[in-house]
Amino acid sequence: MEQLLAVELGDSYKPNAITAVCGCTDLGHDEVRRLIKAKELKTIPRVMQALEWKTSCGCAKCRPALNYYLVCDWPDEYEDDYQSRFIYERVHANIQKDGTYSVVPRMWGGITSAIELRKIADVVEKFDIPTVKVTGGQRIDMLGVQKEDLPAVWADLGEVGFVSGHAYAKGLRTVKTCVGSDWCRFGTQDSTGLGVRIEKFMWGSWTPAKVKMAVSGCPRNCSEATCKDVGVICVDSGYELHFAGAAGLDIKGTEVLGHVKTEDEVIEHVVALTQMYREQGHYLERIYKWAKRIGVDEIRRQIMENGEARQGYFSRFIFSQKYAQVDPWSERVSGKDKHEFIPMSDLKLEAAE
Amino acid sequence: MNVLSANWIAVGRLSDIPRRGARRIQNGSLTIAVFRTANDEVYAIEDKCPHKKGPLSQGIVHGNCVSCPLHNWVISLEDGKAQGADEGTVRSFNVKLDGEDIHLNVLNVSDERKSA
């Protein structure tokens, strides 16, 4: 094993400096990711066999990580292993402390309509949903839904075109926007339209950890783009691109990636940046931590200055999206994974007399 | 009629449960989680983590253990005991495989309800 690593990884292999993924292996995330590519490992059992995993079927730490790496690296070939996903990604809803679930439909760029709001109101009444809350990502969260009700809730929401908001995913979450040049007297560009465009382009993509974005129509920054994983600030001369912010356990302002002149360029740069992170990030590592590890300058160099590298990332993201942009809710309304939502049996036994 | 065998009832088939997965069995307010391991072994424990009552049936199954979906406690499927530094035990139930059929011993289940 040591030899294999030395050959495949060259000088970068320093066994003593590695933090292992988990107790099932001595390898770190970087080593595992590089060996998956170098040895073309395309299933979890193959990875565990080739990299000499110490346990027979891994654990709850390494399996979700390996599943993500394989989804990311072999988008057209790998069959997603749902038993290696945490419950919220397996049933496409957020588990709550009492075992019920929350449901957050996508509201593109935070825009909604009378038809959508009326449908949400109807669903809340029909399924007796106890709490309805506006989220920080400009959408509506319905909390306390019984697991058995999820497919029926999604079916009703789907009638007006709602799809999953992936509020549970290590993937693209929200693109928060302000009203921009449509309404605001200070707006310099169509920040709402751009946010919707980014969200429609990138929804469904899996990432090492959650990705939250925002587009602000001017430097007053009403959509708080400068503490997001990726942020765009519209200015008179175009668009300022930001990344690697944080406003959770850690709080950190974004780094400036660069300046571009058109919406198309925004899409290309933001997508390329996200793909670079998808390919290099450790599972559960947010963008700001990845950027610290890789170096902000190196990321800027590859995305802003190296057109060829940027194009490569961009086209690999688009290829991956062909397989990722399937609404998981409508799949399950159509019967996929039915076993997840209904008990295997109901005994209805009386207590022994 | 054999009294012992009368306490075993069929609750489903092995193929109803995904490998490294679980299904729930309801009996009134009691929920039992029936697990199927990678090696097609079958176990049943109450669907209630000893820590904060998390539904264990929703966790990731690895080896003969499940990780609770709420706070990642690792629970043994064999005896319901929390692993590692965590302490606590969840009620386990007797299940057996008869070919493809999963049988649950309901004597245990009824006792559970009576005492509840």
Q: How many domains does chain B have?
A: 1
From first to last of the 353 residues of chain A, give the pLDDT tens digit.
Answer: 777 777 777 777 777 778 999 999 999 999 999 999 999 999 999 999 999 999 999 999 999 999 999 999 999 999 999 999 999 999 999 999 999 999 999 999 999 999 999 999 999 999 999 999 999 999 999 999 999 999 999 999 999 999 999 999 999 999 999 999 999 999 999 999 999 999 999 999 999 999 999 999 999 999 999 999 999 999 999 999 999 999 999 999 999 999 999 999 999 999 999 999 999 999 999 999 999 999 999 999 999 999 999 999 999 999 999 999 999 999 999 999 999 999 999 988 765 44
For residue A322, tell me if it sits in a domain.
Answer: yes
Quickly state the pLDDT bin for B115 (edges 50, 70, 90). Answer: very low
Q: Which amino acid, residue B35?
A: F
Per-residue model confidence (pLDDT) at position A13:
75
User: Same domain, yes or no, for A45 and A109?
Assistant: no
Task: Check which CATH number belongs to the domain holding B71 and give it.
Answer: 2.102.10.10
Residues A181, A306, single domain; the answer is: yes
More reliable by pLDDT, B59 or A353? B59
Measured CA to CA, the distance from residue A261 to residue A239 in angstroms comes to 6
Residues A247 and A323 in one domain: yes
Q: Which two tokens stand for residue B62?
A: 């690895």
Q: Which residues of A touch B (CB under 8 A)?
A: 55-60, 63-64, 82-88, 90-91, 95, 97, 99, 339, 343-352
| Count of the separate structural domains present in chain A | 3
Give the residue from A348, A350, A329, A342 showing the smallest Cα distance to A165.
A329
Q: What is the pLDDT of residue A32?
A: 98
Pick the last residue of a domain from A85, A109, A135: A85
Above 70 in pLDDT, residue B113? Answer: no
Domain span at A127: 86-167
Which residues in chain A have Cβ-Cβ distances shorter than 8 Å to B67?
59-60
Does residue A129 sit within a domain? yes
Which residue is listed with tokens 């009824």? B110
Smallest CA-to-CA distance from A233 within A247, A205, A253, A252 is with A253
- DSSP character for A305? I
Domain that holds residue B58: 3-109
Q: Identify the pLDDT of residue B107.
A: 81
- B12-39 average pLDDT score: 96
The pLDDT score that the predictor gives to residue B3 is 52
The verdict on a CB contact (< 8 Å) between B113 and A344 is: no
> Does residue A343 sit within a domain?
no
In-domain check, residue B51: yes
To 10 degrees, the CA torsion angle through B15, B20, B21, B22? Answer: 80
Residue A184's CATH number: 3.30.413.10
Q: What is the pLDDT of residue B111?
A: 52
- Domain end, chosen from A167, A187, A222, is at A167
Contact A59 B67 (CB under 8 A): yes
Q: What residues of chain B lie within 8 A of the CB of A56, using their CB?
A: 38, 63
The predicted pLDDT at position A224 comes to: 97
* Spatial CA neighbour of A335 closest among A88, A152, A128, A136: A152
pLDDT value at residue A353: 41
A260 and A122 share a domain?
A: no
At B43, list the tokens.
Answer: 């176990």
pLDDT of residue B4: 56
Nearest Cα to Cα of residue A61 among B13, B84, B106: B84
Residues A76, A95: one domain?
no
Find the distance separating the first CA and the last CA of chain B, reported in whole Å.
29
Q: What is the predicted pLDDT for the residue at A10?
A: 77
Q: Considering A39, A56, A85, which residue would you say is the last residue of a domain?
A: A85
Would you state the pLDDT for residue B1? Answer: 46
Residue B116 lies in a domain: no
- The mean pLDDT of B100-116, rounded to a whole number, is 73
Q: Do residue A68 and residue A173 come from a single domain?
A: no
Candidates A23, A222, A331; CA nearest to B65 is A23
Q: Is B114 on the interface with A (CB under 8 A)?
A: yes
